[in-house]
Amino acid sequence: MKKRGIWSDFFHFISSSAAVLSGGRGNGEADGADSIATAGAGRITIDGVAAGDPAESIYVRRAGHGAKTIVLIPGNNTSGMVFEPMLDHFRSIAALAEAYTVYTFDYRGSGRSSYNKKISALKDFALDFEKVMSKITDFPNSGVTIVGYSMGFGVAQEMVIANPGRYSDIVSLAGIGTRGVRVGFAAAQAGTDSAGQVWSEGDWVTVTNDTNGVTATGFHQRSWQGENRTYANVEFTWDLIVFQDILQYDIAAFNVKAPAFKSSQNYKNALLDVLTIQYMPESLYYSHKFNVAQADCSHTNADGAIVTIKGDGRLSTIFTGKNVMLVKATADLAAWRGDQVIHDNYTATTKYDLREAGAKVNAVMIGANQGYDHGFPISHPLETIRLIDTFLKGTLCAATAATALEGAAINYYPDSEKIWETNIFTGF
C-alpha cells in the first residue's frame, strides 16, 4: 500500500453485522424519550439549537439501572456505537448494572441520528445533548458523571459549561483537552485546496474564516474522506494510528505484527461506524478552533501568517468542587506506540487549566507498549470501566489504577502534583 504522511489522518476517534451497526439494538428500539428506559435504545426528537433551525433526531442508548448516572460522549469519526463494548459490560455484569445507569448518544450526523443542519461549534453537539437529557424522564439534574472520549471531552466540557450544576465528576479518555487539538499539515498533505488556499508542511489551518477553515480541514483529511472513505482506507488509517499499540504496528513496513484484535467484533464495528459519519470535516475544524482556557495558542505558518487559537476563558471557575480524571496512553513517537493522536502535553496543560478552574484533577498516563493506544476504550472496555469505577468510588491512586488496568504500567499524577502539569502548550 502506498505510504502516507504520518499525520495525514491526524484526528481519529472510533467504535457484526449491518444490523448491529444500524443501531446496536440489543435491548430493542423505541421512538420517544419515555420508552428508552424499557427498550434500552431509541430516538429523541429535539428542536434545533437556534431559532429557525430544523429539528434533529438523536439516537440514544441506555444500559444498567443503578443510582449513579454516567453519560458517555463519543469521539470524532464515531457515534455512540463506539461505546457498545463498554455498554455490553454494563448490561451483563450485575454489580455494574445495579450501580450505574449509563447513556450514550449518537452525534447529529452520525450513526442513527439526523444531520439536518451542520454544526458551527462543538457547543452545538453539547446543546443537542442537553436538550436530549431534558426529555428523558427522571434524568438527574445533579450528580451526573460525564465521560468524554477524544473529541468527546471537548463536547463534555461544553456540556459542563452549559449546565455546570448537572455534573459532579468528569472523565477524559484520551481527550482533546481544554485547548483543543491542532490540525497541522504534514508534507504529504501540503498543496492548494478548492478555495485556493496554499498549505505548506507545518502550517496550522487558519481560523479567521470558518468556511475556509472547514474547506482546508477537508483538504487536510482528503486521503480517507469523501470518495476515499472506504472500509480499506479506514482500516489502514485506524491500524496506523488508532490501534497501533495493540496491533504492534510496524511503522517501517506499514503492517501489523499482532493482528489478533483485528478479528474481534469490536474492531470491525469501530471501522464500520466511521462509514456513518456525516459531520466531518466541520467537527475536526471546530476541535482545532476549540480553546476554553485563558491562554492563547499561536503558531507561525510558512508564509509568515500567525495563526492564533484564542483562549476564550469560559472555564473561569466553573469546575469548582468537581472531580476530574484524565486518562491517556503515553505517546512513544520513536517506537510508534501509545497514543499517536493526542499529544501528552495536551493532558498536562488540561490538568493545569482545570485545576485553575477549581477542579480536583488526577491524571493516569498508561505506559506505551502496554497494548493501550488511542482506541483503548474499544480494545480494553472492561479495564476502562474498572478505572472509571475506581475513580467514582474515591479510591483512585497509583496502585488501584494499575490494578484496574490489569497490571499495565502507569504514571499517576495526583491533584497535588505541580511539576508534570504545565501552563505551556506545545502540541506536536
Phi, psi of 364, deg, nearest 5:
-120, 115
pLDDT at 340: 92
DSSP 107: P
Q: Set out the domains of the chain in order of their start, with CATH numbers.
A: 18-413 (3.40.50.1820)
Residue 428: the pLDDT is: 61
Confidence bin at 35 (pLDDT 50/70/90):
confident
User: What share of the chain in percent tops pLDDT 70?
Assistant: 92
Question: What confidence score (pLDDT) does residue 416 get?
Answer: 97
Reading the block at residue 223, the C-alpha cell is: 486521503
Q: Which of 239, 237, 213, 243 is nearest to 225 (CA)?
A: 237
Give the pLDDT of residue 40. 92
Residue 203's SS3 state is: coil
Q: Label residue 37 by pLDDT band (50, 70, 90).
A: confident
Q: Look at residue 88 and give its three-state secondary structure.
A: helix
377, three cell numbers: 476504550
Are 245 and 238 in contact by the 8 Å Cβ rule? The answer is no
**pLDDT tens per residue across span 104-144:** 999 999 999 999 999 999 999 999 999 999 999 899 999 99
Beta pairing partners, 171: 147, 325
Q: What pLDDT, on a 0 to 100 scale, did the predictor assign at position 27?
A: 39
Q: 362 Cβ partners below 8 Å, 6+ apart?
A: 324, 325, 326, 391, 396, 412, 413, 414, 415
**Residue the block writes with cell 464515531:** 78
Q: Is the per-residue pLDDT at 397 higher than 80?
A: yes
Rounded CA gap, 342 and 10, in Å? 9
The pLDDT assigned to 233 comes to 97
- pLDDT tens digit string along 348-361? 999 999 999 999 99
Using CB atoms within 10 Å of the CB of residue 260, give its burial: 0 to 12 exposed, 13 to 18 middle, 19+ buried: exposed
Among 87, 127, 92, smallest CA distance to 108 is for 127
Residue 92: name the closest of 57, 64, 124 by CA: 64
Whose CA is closest to 299, among 218, 213, 205?
205
State pLDDT tens for residues 401-423.
999 999 999 999 999 999 999 99
For residue 24, what pLDDT band results from cuts at 50, 70 and 90? very low
pLDDT of amino acid 28: 43
The yes-or-no verdict on residue 23 having pLDDT over 90 is no
Task: Please tell me the distance from the alpha carbon of residue 75 to that of residue 360, in angstroms, as a whole number.
Answer: 24
With 0.85 as the threshold, say if the pTM is over it.
yes
Average confidence score pLDDT of the chain: 92
Crossing angle of helices 122-135/151-162, nearest 10°?
Answer: 60
